[in-house]
Structure 1
């Protein structure tokens, strides 16, 4: 069975939109595109290199696929080798649209069931890049095996987030971590089941003021 790893560049406030450049994705009025390179941290290179070492396929949302397909097949210079590797890799695109996937070795996935079937098939492990919108449903379906989060000491205020609407509640277990010289936290997590329902909570207040506060919450007036 294939493993699915999500590798993401994040700000401290959870934004992952357009780390690569100002024109990458400015939808929603996002004006901090290219923040990864504006901040800069060579300490992440070993982690990125390890993530893409060996054989792998890419698992992408449609918008990230469009970004990659418009850039990586045409890139020259030092990044050309990565572009060639991405072209050789299988690119599995989770999309409900019918647009043509022209980049070679590209394959359409219509829904979560297709991702589950892909995981059960033979082939290299899968790496998610970008693709913020696919994380909630893949986490809910328990299809992600590992998260490698590179969390930069910067806040961006707004933008697309890794854990967006629809993200399920659940525990994560940290399996590795380090901090770069510039303060980027590189943390690796694996899903670890449901949040326990039972706990030893402190006794709630029985004061009149607390009872009034509880009543306001129930009435949505708090």
Structure 2
């Protein structure tokens, strides 16, 4: 069984959107001022030596504008080599490979991919996918790079209406610019009492 890790760059108020999407998001590139060599190393450490990608169509399109021609470095080389499993209704229009379409049913498609032999999967960006994957127990690990700012608008890590859940804390790494890389294991759904572990 392949594992699925979600890695997201996120504001203190839960926003993971980084670029304009036609709806007037005003803070494109908000994480850029916080980037440091130490932070890059921490993000690199969150990625295994070999992995495949699970991407929504918009994230795939944004990444395909940059990464195919990006200078060679360990992360760029791994992203280029990874098979991109893309959630799209038009798999025939994909260009940046290697790639495969996930299929019309996201949950069953991801279950099928996870059951295959191959490297573990990484999902980044793709805010329309995170809630569904977590709600259906398809994510095994979550890494949140938490930035010390509030944005007040933009697509968030969890969509409204996502069932309550708990993440198991694994560890954290702080960068010089104040970004915290927090690692969590698989989720556990909570009932209406919101009982704390051990109660």
Q: 1:180 to 1:74 in 2, by over 3 A?
A: closer
Question: By how many angstroms is 1:152 displaced?
Answer: 0.6
Residue 154 of structure 2 is aligned to residue 154 of structure 1: no
Q: Per-residue displacement from partner, 1:27-79 (whole Å, max 9, x unpaired)?
A: 32112111111233444223211123311001101100001112111224xx5
Give the length in aligned residue pairs.
Answer: 193
118-127 vs 159-168, greater mean Cα deviation: 159-168
Aligned counterparts of 2:168 and 2:113: Cα–Cα separation in 1:
25
Aligned counterparts of 1:27 and 1:99: Cα–Cα separation in 2:
24
Residue aligned with 2:165, SS: coil
Residue 163 of structure 2 is aligned to residue 165 of structure 1: no
108-117 vs 35-44, greater mean Cα deviation: 35-44
Residue 69 of structure 2 is aligned to residue 74 of structure 1: yes
Which structure is richer in relative contact order (CA contacts within 8 A, separation 6 or more)? 2
Question: By how many angstroms is 1:81 displaced?
Answer: 5.4
Question: By how many angstroms is 1:172 displaced?
Answer: 1.1
Please name the residue that 2:101 is paired with: 108
Q: 1:47 to 1:68 in 2, by over 3 A?
A: same
Q: Give TM-score scaled by structure 2 length.
A: 0.87
Task: Give structure 1 regions of 4+ aligned residues with deviation exceeding 4 angstroms.
Answer: 196-200
Q: 1:71 to 1:102 in 2, by over 3 A?
A: same
Question: By how many angstroms is 1:5 displaced?
Answer: 0.3
92-101 vs 183-192, greater mean Cα deviation: 92-101
Gaps of 5+ in 1: 19-23, 201-222
Paired residues of 2:44 and 2:75 also in contact (CA < 8 A): no
Gaps of 5+ in 2: none
Residue 119 of structure 2 is aligned to residue 119 of structure 1: no
Question: By how many angstroms is 1:26 displaced?
Answer: 4.3
Aligned with 1:89 (options 71, 82, 90): 82
Q: Relative to total residues, which structure has the larger helix share, 1 or 2? A: 1
Cα RMSD (Å) of the superposition? Answer: 2.1
Q: 1:59 to 1:116 in 2, by over 3 A?
A: same
